[in-house]
């Protein structure tokens, strides 16, 4: 049937082609015309889908808290005015190779103070800007427009949560169970937009993208909302973490250090959620182990190895060490906290790998040894 259809189409094109044009030229003209029509319909469909999602977001917020209206709620405005954070200046951010690390704030590409050692359980909400409600009026560029709807929806969700916690409004968050599509779609849009940015970041980072990261971190660390988000969007969050790890490993730009720091810091912030932290440790153990095995094989065969990937593996090692160090200090680690299989694979033959690589790659061998010490310390506890 398909062959007959193609043959009939070919005859129709040949018989209907205008004079002065070959069959090939006329076919290409028809294909271009149809593709333009399809593109127009796709654009209309995408616009309608975006409008439907926006309406679903408004409906869900109205179901959760019917009386919530930020513009007309004086008490809410007072609370928000007290807790809003002034955007910090990005003029000091580096625009070159990022090698000058004398200023931690300048080197922090997202404008977030580096507090890797601070546990999410000990965060002072009156001081840490991640726990404060960011401003609603966000200005964004054309490239960031796709993030506007999900960021504003999730912001308002977090605001309702904050206001309900303070007793200012009454909210029913069980409605999140009844409309998983809206929550999933919003979080997916946010993660997709951030992935695009991290794959080709521009510095200095705009305030809007900083707010987007802020919203994501507050969402996954909120005690009431994080369970709903993880239940519906865990696979998407896992995919997001994998994309961030790969963006670190694949980045071959000469001035890549600032971008690598931004991605690394976001991964550490994601680890504020215990479930995401455990899966992130497993992912990092797997990536570092695979690279160590490939490097050992190349060294034994006297073959070439990817020097760029070798340089990029160190941010992953530092993240892994930091996360394991935090867990060890908290003294609440059990063998089931992260994938025991990945831990066993990492420790298997690790001494031999370190022995063979220590002369040629002393810094990488040192990192492998430090990670193994932390893993063994966790096991002993």
pLDDT digit string, tens, across residues 331-373:
554 444 566 788 888 998 899 999 999 999 999 999 999 999 9
Q: Examine the fold and report which residue of 233, 264, 286 is the final residue of a domain before the chain moves on.
A: 233
Is 135 buried (19+), middle (13-18) or exposed (0-12) by CB count in 10 A?
middle
Distances (CA, A) of 165 to 40, 162, 168: 46, 5, 8
Looking up tokens 């931004």 gives 262
Helix (H, G, I), strand (E, B) or coil at 170: coil
Q: Examine the fold and report which residue of 208, 233, 258 is the final residue of a domain before the chain moves on.
A: 233
pLDDT at 6 over 70: yes
Instruction: Look up the pTM and report it.
Output: 0.71
Q: Which domain, by its residues, includes 287? A: 273-330+338-380
pLDDT at 126 over 60: no
pLDDT bin (cut points 50, 70, 90) of residue 130 is very low
Residue 280 lies in a domain: yes
Residue 315 lies in a domain: yes
CB-CB neighbours of 244 under 10 Å: 22
Q: Give the tokens for residue 64.
A: 């959760």
Q: Give the tokens for residue 195.
A: 């992935």
- DSSP code per residue over 18-76: PTT--HHHHHHHHHHHHHHHHHHHHHHHHHHHHHHHHHHHHHHHHHH-TT--GGG-HHH
Q: Examine the fold and report which residue of 201, 233, 265 is the final residue of a domain before the chain moves on.
A: 233
Closest to 268 (Cα-Cα) out of 110, 102, 98: 110
Query: What mean pLDDT value characterizes the chain?
Result: 78
Contact yes or no for 333/378 (Cβ under 8 A) = yes
The reply to whether 190 and 281 lie within a common domain is no
Closest to 176 (Cα-Cα) out of 187, 166, 165, 167: 187
Contact yes or no for 353/361 (Cβ under 8 A) = no
Could you tell me what percent of the chain has a pLDDT over 70?
A: 76
The reply to whether 212 and 296 lie within a common domain is no
Q: Please count the structural domains in the chain.
A: 2
């Amino acid at each position: 049937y398909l062959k007959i259809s193609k043959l009939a189409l070919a005859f129709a094109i040949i018989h209907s082609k205008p004079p002065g044009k070959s069959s090939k030229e006329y076919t290409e003209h028809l294909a271009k015309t149809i593709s333009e029509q399809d593109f127009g319909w796709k654009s209309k469909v995408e616009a309608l889908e975006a409008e439907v999602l926006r309406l679903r977001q408004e409906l869900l917020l109205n179901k959760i808290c019917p009386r919530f209206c930020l513009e007309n709620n004086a008490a809410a405005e007072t609370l928000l005015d007290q807790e809003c954070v002034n955007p910090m200046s990005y003029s000091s951010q580096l625009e070159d190779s990022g090698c000058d690390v004398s200023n931690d704030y300048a080197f922090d590409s997202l404008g977030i103070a580096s507090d890797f050692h601070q546990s999410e359980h000990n965060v002072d909400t009156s001081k840490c800007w991640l726990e404060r409600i960011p401003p609603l009026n966000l200005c964004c560029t054309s490239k960031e427009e796709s993030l506007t709807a999900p960021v504003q929806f999730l912001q308002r969700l977090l605001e309702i949560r904050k206001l309900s916690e303070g007793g200012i409004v009454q909210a029913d968050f069980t409605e999140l169970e009844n409309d998983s599509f809206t929550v999933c779609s919003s979080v997916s849009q946010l993660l997709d937009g951030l992935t695009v940015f991290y794959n080709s970041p521009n510095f200095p980072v705009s305030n809007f993208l900083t707010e987007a990261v802020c919203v994501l971190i507050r969402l996954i660390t909120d005690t009431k909302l994080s369970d709903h988000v993880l239940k519906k969007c865990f696979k998407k969050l896992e995919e997001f973490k994998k994309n961030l790890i790969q963006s670190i490993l694949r980045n071959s730009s000469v001035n890549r250090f600032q971008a690598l720091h931004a991605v690394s810091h976001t991964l550490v912030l994601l680890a504020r959620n215990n479930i995401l932290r455990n899966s992130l440790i497993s992912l990092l153990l797997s990536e570092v182990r695979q690279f160590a095995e490939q490097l050992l094989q190349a060294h034994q065969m006297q073959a070439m190895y990817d020097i760029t990937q070798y340089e990029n593996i160190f941010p992953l090692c530092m993240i892994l060490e930091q996360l394991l160090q935090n867990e060890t200090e908290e003294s609440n680690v059990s063998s089931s906290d992260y994938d025991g299989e990945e831990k066993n694979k990492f420790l298997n033959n690790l001494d031999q790998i370190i022995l063979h690589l220590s002369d040629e790659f002393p810094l990488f061998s040192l990192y492998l040894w430090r990670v193994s010490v932390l893993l063994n310390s966790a096991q002993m506890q």
